[in-house]
Structure 1
Amino acid sequence: MSKRAVRDLRDLGALRDELRRAEAAAEAERQRQAAEQARRLREQQAFALAVGPVQPVKGPQRVLHAHQPPPPEPRQRELDEQAALAEALSDEVDVESLLLTDDGLGFRRPAIAPDVLAKLRKGHWAIQRQLDLHGLRRDEARESLAHFIRQAHQQSHRCVRVIHGKGHGSPGKQPVLKAKVQRWLAQRQEVIAFAQASGPQGGAGALIVLLASRQR
């Protein structure tokens, strides 16, 4: 036999061995997969025997609405403006010379007609919002009032009520916030007039405030 024939036989033998090894590996993989499938089946059967027959629970009839993100709000800017407005309201401003006491406590800007105060006391304008300052400390009341007036004016409200109390629960039975609220209101450019409320509207414990028309 020639050397070439011998070499060809050797190559065929090596190829046959390689095919046998590949078949053995494939068979081992098939056996492994079969064993794994059998194990999972045994586990499922064991779980079914332990739990018993079950039925799927019907889910509630729910409608999923698309989420609508809230509109962006300039919260930090509003907080900064509120702080600046509250700090701008001074307790030291003298407004007594501007208060009219001929027919009950009242205040009006020079450009406002005198009969406006009478109309305020008589309820000519409907009260659209009110702020109750009972129980608030001075700084809390000042900040709340600044925010309230600013927001009411932004919402184009013209007539609001500010309840400062009659002072029955204060030391000396004196209305602590009454004079301060008058000073604070007189410093707000949105406020063009205010008058002491009539009896049904709160009497000496409240002020009826008229706000300027908002420029559009």
Structure 2
Amino acid sequence: MPPPEDEDDSALFRAAIGAVTPLRKVDAPAPARPRPRPRARMAEQDEAQALGEFARLLRTDTPLEAGDVASHRRDTLPARLFQRLKRGQYSVQDELDLHGASVLQAERLLRDFLLDARAHEHGCVRIIHGKGLQSDGGAPVLKNLVDRLLRQRNDVLAFHSAPPAQGGTGAVLVLLARR
């Protein structure tokens, strides 16, 4: 027999279920909303500081563009050795690829790489920074970071953009001083 039309839905539900026994009351508080995932605030601050320092460096000097050649030679290095470096005539003993790294990661990787290269007494290394065609703001970030950092290091005698067969303006060959 169909239920009468005038009964409300809650009464129909109680009639269908039958007798129920209530659960005993628990004094525990209701579960709280899940806590938000922790943020690495210090890492974010370090990244922002590194970007700020890098932006300051870019403002003080003219930044390199994607197709520009990165080049530097210490006065103590003979010109003929620098010419050999420019032509890619040194054997590259190790290589670092910075593609996809943030500024902070790239700086740390580059510093560690150069320390390791010096410890292994490598004379010439290649650093691949990319051409920076996808960089926000136009200036290739990693290329300029590598250029500025290599100029500051005492163990770097010279560096120059690699010949086209070795990466062109997306990489640099670095001549390191011996220990």
Distance 1:124 1:189, change over 3 A: same
Q: Distance in 2 between matches of 1:192 and 1:96?
A: 21
Equivalence for 1:205: 170
Q: Select the residue among 87, 91, 108 that pairs with 1:122.
A: 87
Offset, 1:159: 0.3
CA contact (8 A) 1:161 1:206 kept: yes
Taking structure 2 as the reference length, the TM-score comes to: 0.60
Query: Which deviations, in whole Å up to 9, do the C-alpha atoms of 1:101-141 show, x marking residues without a partner?
Result: xxx53211111112222111222210010100000000100
Partner SS state of residue 91, structure 2: coil
CA contact (8 A) 1:129 1:159 kept: yes
Which consecutive segments of 4 or more residues in structure 1 shift more than 3 A?
Answer: 90-97
Determine which structure has more spread, i.e. the larger CA radius of gyration: 1
Tell me the amino acid that sits aligned with residue 89 of structure 2. H
Equivalence for 1:145: 110
Percent of aligned positions with the same letter in both sequences?
A: 40
Equivalence for 2:140: 175
CA contact (8 A) 1:193 1:210 kept: yes
Partner SS state of residue 101, structure 2: coil
Equivalence for 1:159: 124
Partner SS state of residue 157, structure 2: strand
Offset, 1:158: 0.5
CA contact (8 A) 2:129 2:142 kept: yes
Which structure is richer in relative contact order (CA contacts within 8 A, separation 6 or more)? 2
Distance 1:178 1:128, change over 3 A: same
Taking structure 1 as the reference length, the TM-score comes to: 0.51
Q: Distance in 1 between matches of 2:164 and 2:96?
A: 17
Equivalence for 1:112: 77
- Count of residues in Structure 1 that have an aligned counterpart in Structure 2: 121
CA contact (8 A) 1:107 1:117 kept: no
Q: Distance in 2 between matches of 1:200 and 1:136?
A: 23
Partner SS state of residue 150, structure 1: helix
Offset, 1:169: 2.5
Tell me the amino acid that sits aligned with residue 145 of structure 2. K
Structure (1/2) with the larger helix percentage: 1
Equivalence for 1:34: none
Tell me the amino acid that sits aligned with residue 151 of structure 1. D
Equivalence for 1:195: 160
